[in-house]
């Protein structure tokens, strides 16, 4: 994909790009910074707290997040890896790629995240509660994992109609249009 990221938008389930494993970032350049800026813009405009590059159709290991909504709290993590997960807590999660789907998901309460910044410099964060949850959720996206894969049976039943509607909408958009034939 070229560096023109202005046309990017959040893609929805069942777009197959959401199920692919993302490639590590090896080039830390203006294009990467532009992609991160566009992702932050999309995340904020949809009132999200996190967004992974696959959610905009770019299969790179890049996530952005902001647990508070305050502009100074925007975080950009390149090639994130989660370590030292501790504790366990259930909480409700949603996903910008699954609008209308919320589920109770069990995640580690605390974790350490290693990553790089937009210049390739190492970052290490100790996270807990919501920031830890967001990083785990977004890192799942980098590995092709959705909350659909982590939800329990009750949430699967409760969200079945919404998920089917997303799938039907995707099929109708991706189906090739037949040219209309005039009959006389």
Q: One of 126, 138, 167, 182 is an active-site residue; which one?
A: 138
Phi, psi of 112 (to 5 degrees): -110, 135
7 CB-near residues (< 8 Å, 6+ apart): none
Annotation says 138 is catalytic = yes
Separation CA 133–CA 179 (nearest Å): 47
Q: What is the DSSP letter of 98?
A: S
CB atoms within 10 A of CB 175: 8
Is the CA virtual torsion 90, 46, 7, 166 positive or negative?
positive
Phi, psi of 20 (to 5 degrees): -95, 150
Q: Which helix (H) or strand (E) holds 31?
A: helix 30-45
Catalytic residues: 138
């Amino acid at each position: 994909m070229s560096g023109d990221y202005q046309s990017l938008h959040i893609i929805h389930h069942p777009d197959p790009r959401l199920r692919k494993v993302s490639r590590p970032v090896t080039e830390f350049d203006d294009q990467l910074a532009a992609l991160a800026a566009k992702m932050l813009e999309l995340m904020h405009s949809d009132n999200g707290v996190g967004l992974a590059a696959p959610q905009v159709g770019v299969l790179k290991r890049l996530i952005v997040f902001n647990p508070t909504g305050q502009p100074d709290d925007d975080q950009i993590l390149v090639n994130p890896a989660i370590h030292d997960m501790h504790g366990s807590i259930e909480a409700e999660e949603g996903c910008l790629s699954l609008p209308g789907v919320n589920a109770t998901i069990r995640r580690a309460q605390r974790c350490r995240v290693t990553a790089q910044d937009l210049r390739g410099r190492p970052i290490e964060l100790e996270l807990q509660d919501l920031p830890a949850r967001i990083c785990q959720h977004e890192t799942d996206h980098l590995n092709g994992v959705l909350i659909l894969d982590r939800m329990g049976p009750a949430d699967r039943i409760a969200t079945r109609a919404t998920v089917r509607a997303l799938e039907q909408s995707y099929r109708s958009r991706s189906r090739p249009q037949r040219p209309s034939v005039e009959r006389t």
